[in-house]
Chain A
Amino acid sequence: MQVFELDSPERLRAHLAQSRTLYEVRADGQGGEHWQSVSVGDQTAFNPSAATASFSAKSFFFAEREVLFRFEGGQFLSALPEVAPQVLFGVHACDLQAVAYQDRFFEGDPHYQSRRAATLLVGVDCVESCDGGFCHTVSSGPDVRYGSADLVLVPRRDKHAPWLLLAASHAGVQAIEALSLTPAIDDWASERLANSQRVAQQQGEQVDIIKGVALLNAGKIEQSTWERLGLQCLGCSGCTSVCPTCSCFAPLDQPTASGGMQRERVWDSCLYQGFQKEASGHNPSATPGARVQRFWFHKFGDEINAPFEHYGCVGCGRCDRVCPGGIGVHGVMHKVVNA
């Protein structure tokens, strides 16, 4: 890995935007923050705030709705997306870990991979904890994990010191070649470690998460506990929509203007009552408790997550924010531990 001094992240951003569509999280003017495209000449100061945007980078690769194939004139025609080079600028470590998780899950999916291959990921270390995050507990942050980004921005505690830029992949090195940056001489590794330790301290011991996950994997959570939690699930799919690793989808056939049809896939949710219902009427996950349990096993179950070498939860805390029933990750784990 090569490490450089960077006078300003805005210069890097403008450089990358010259040959790619660049996206950054920006305020939407209505109290929310969303990924938006940024033009080459944009002068807005880069904001390395640790606060997580409403949505992760998931939909850039696993689109919320996309065409899989078309049926026209008696022929089935592939509809692979043609994605122009793009860059996501300023992605937090937790969301990058989620992309790494989905890279594995969708390894054989040509639609996901065509989007992913066209994308340069520029991460940013968090030097303060966001509100409600616990990335340190699940080993997804706050410093960007090796291999999860092409470039990594490291903000400095010393406001007068230049930013650090880590070139963490071949594509990353190539992307900044023309900037002729100066190699960093500071002890950047120690500084990142100190940042990480400070954030860990801010996030605390996360006792409920640690104990709750242990109980879950030991099979020591009573069915009655899941059923009580299930009563608080409104089946709204808020958690599965904002969760950066959720990947369920449903097929949807739509007529086309030319008289044919196209098969789309749209995000689905394992919390929906009919998610598993079969044509016979049999529903293996008929109760809300069974579905809530499934969701949390998917996030924290050792057997499910072993192939990914990481939990399906990256500690972003979005489910806590969005759940109207109070059964986001902290809500669930607190109740599980105190059942």
Chain B
Amino acid sequence: MIDLTPRKLLLLEHYADGEDARHFTFRIEQPLAADLAAIPGQFFMLVLPGFGEAPFTYVSTPDAQGVFKALVRRMGALTTALFALQADAVLGYRGPFGNGWPLFFKAKRVLAVAGGCGLAPLAGVIDAAAQQAEPTQISLVYGARKADTQVLGRERSRWRESMPLIETFDQAATGQRSGSPLQHFDEVFSAGLPDVLLCCGPEPLMLAAAEECLRRGMAAESLWLSVERRMHCGVGLCGHCYVGSSYACVDGPTYRYDQYLKLLTHCPQFPGPAAPQVC
């Protein structure tokens, strides 16, 4: 039976990490085996009593003490309340939920493409790849609106030392790269065709990146996206995060591109009002 009651979570510390974003360290008071088995790309529900709960990805998954990290951007009532809390505050936790990234450590070349906050679910898999005995050649193309909106500053400093990292901006300052991550694919692909794409960001960016990888010769089965949907329950019951016949909270949020497209055929993308570009 599913347990819908949260467990206690302690806020240990936090630091500013990008515009309106903070890097939090939490500790699950009584971690379970499932917490310790969490993999990058999965998510948890963060409960703020009185303000509801919301899904966030793990930047680092729980260690033996239940300590893990998450990136949160302040967007609404729940995150505003979270940002007002001090260390040692008691919160609630449910998880881990959903499917994480496939762990492709036999792949020789992994291309990670992220936009805005979409870098957060990729952090764990990038770190894991770097820690392999024979490190996978992982490269990252990271797009953001401008320098202030970049997240995971400390991780990026570390990654710059160990892997090819392209950082590009919609509003680039002098000396910075500009344009969408796709505009730098020539450079990325000149090192060889990647075996795998792992992508997270605004949906138009992900779909365009996957199409571009296909056009350049990658197989649809090697393209993976982490999609955002509104998840209220995390256990496939509340209905909010549907993607066609699937629920992103249990069947995603990591989808293989060809399977995602198939789901969308019964869930066409209607021309709606343009979403604000916040990430």
Contacts and interface: CB of A to CB of B under 8 A. Distances in A.
Interface string B255-273: 0000000000111111111
B275 A247 contact: no
Q: 6 closest pairs, A vs B, by CB?
A: A286-B272, A248-B239, A303-B245, A282-B275, A71-B49, A279-B75
Contact of A248 (B203, B240, B279): B240
* Most chain B beta-carbon contacts within 10 A, residue among A109, A279, A283, A294: A279
B30 to A, nearest CB: 11
A33 B238 CA distance: 29
Given A280-B228, A280-B278, A294-B267, A75 B8 contact: yes
Contacts of A29: none
A113 B4 CA distance: 13
B238 A278 contact: no
A83 to B, nearest CB: 15
Interface stretch (B191-199, B208-216, B218-226, B229-237): B229-237
B234 to A, nearest CB: 11
A297 interface: yes
A305 to B, nearest CB: 9
A320 interface: no
A201 interface: no
B2 A108 contact: yes
A276 interface: yes
A270 B239 contact: yes
Interface string A194-232: 000000000000000000000000010001000100000
B167 interface: no
B153 interface: no
B270 A287 contact: yes
Contacts of A270: 239, 242
Query: Chain B: interface secondary structure?
Result: loop
Interface in B4-39: 4-8
Contacts of B270: 223, 227, 285-287, 289-290
A276 B229 contact: yes
Interface in B70-85: 75-76, 79
A11 B271 CA distance: 60
Interface of B: 1-8, 47, 49-54, 75-76, 79, 90, 92, 202-203, 228-230, 232-233, 235, 237-245, 265-273, 275-276, 278-279
A150 B140 CA distance: 59
B239 A111 contact: no
Nearest to A217: B266
A251 B98 CA distance: 19
* Most chain A beta-carbon contacts within 10 A, residue among B202, B235, B278: B278
B6 A268 contact: no
A251 B52 contact: yes
B48 to A, nearest CB: 9
B239 A253 contact: no
A284 interface: yes
A146 interface: no
Nearest to B264: A284
B235 A68 contact: no
Contacts of A297: 244-245, 266-267
Contacts of A79: 5
Contact of A76 (B8, B75, B228): B8
Interface string A224-254: 0001000000000000000000011111010
Contacts of B275: 280-283
Nearest to B51: A253
A250 B233 CA distance: 8
Contact of A282 (B203, B233, B243): B203
B268 A278 contact: no
Nearest to A247: B239
A76 B92 contact: yes
A301 interface: yes
A278 B51 CA distance: 16
Given A248-B238, A279-B76, A286-B273, A69 B266 contact: no
Nearest to B239: A248
Contacts of A251: 52-53, 232-233, 238
B120 to A, nearest CB: 13
B5 A268 contact: no
B76 A219 contact: no
